[in-house]
Amino acid sequence: MRILLVEDDRDVARFIKKGLKENSFSVDIAENGEEGLYLATQEEYDLIILDIMLPLLNGDKILHHLRKAGKDTPVIFLTAKDSVKNIVNGLNLGADDYIVKPFSFHELLARIRAILRRGKKVLSPVLKVADLTLNQITREVRRGDSLIDLTPKEYALLEYF
């Protein structure tokens, strides 16, 4: 299983990589947000562990770009941002889990295994027809790059058909 770890703290990244390698995972590390986004879009990973506070591009924006592009790779936020608002925002952006630093490696490993047991999602949360996209997580509808403002009833009808 291949994991992308996007973490700017080298000590934390080495600690996680060492533990994951001991458990037979292959791990690539990106030390900033731009490198993380590049690797996440150019390579195939079974899971991404993503810090939020990163240089060059924060983790929230990376996840937003991935989900907007239709990438459904499972993502675990691993961050020091511990408010309920941050946790809810991260999960609403499309993260599969959210772990607050400091953390237990054994808990991280258990959560990784639980997510990987679920397997890849059968259906993407982003529906596409030509240049029309409907994001079922953010409930945004776009034609090309333009956001289309819909009432809840209009959105429900579009999602249904």
HSE-up of 150 (CA within 13 Å, CB side)?
Answer: 19
**Between 123 and 10, the higher pLDDT residue:** 10
pLDDT at 127: 84
Radius of gyration of the chain measured on its C-alpha atoms: 16
Residue range 58-99, pLDDT digits in tens: 999 999 999 999 899 999 999 999 999 999 999 999 999 999
**What is the fold, at CATH topology level, of the domain defined by 2-118?**
Rossmann fold (3.40.50)
pLDDT at 65: 96
Residue range 119-153, pLDDT digits in tens: 755 456 788 889 999 887 777 899 998 999 988 78
pLDDT at 124: 65
**Between 140 and 105, the higher pLDDT residue:** 105
Which amino acid is it at 160? Y
Rounded (5°) CA angle 52-85-152: 105
HSE-up of 15 (CA within 13 Å, CB side)?
Answer: 13
Please tell me the distance from the alpha carbon of residue 62 to that of residue 76, in angstroms, as a whole number. 12
> Domain-by-domain residue ranges, the chain?
2-118, 126-160
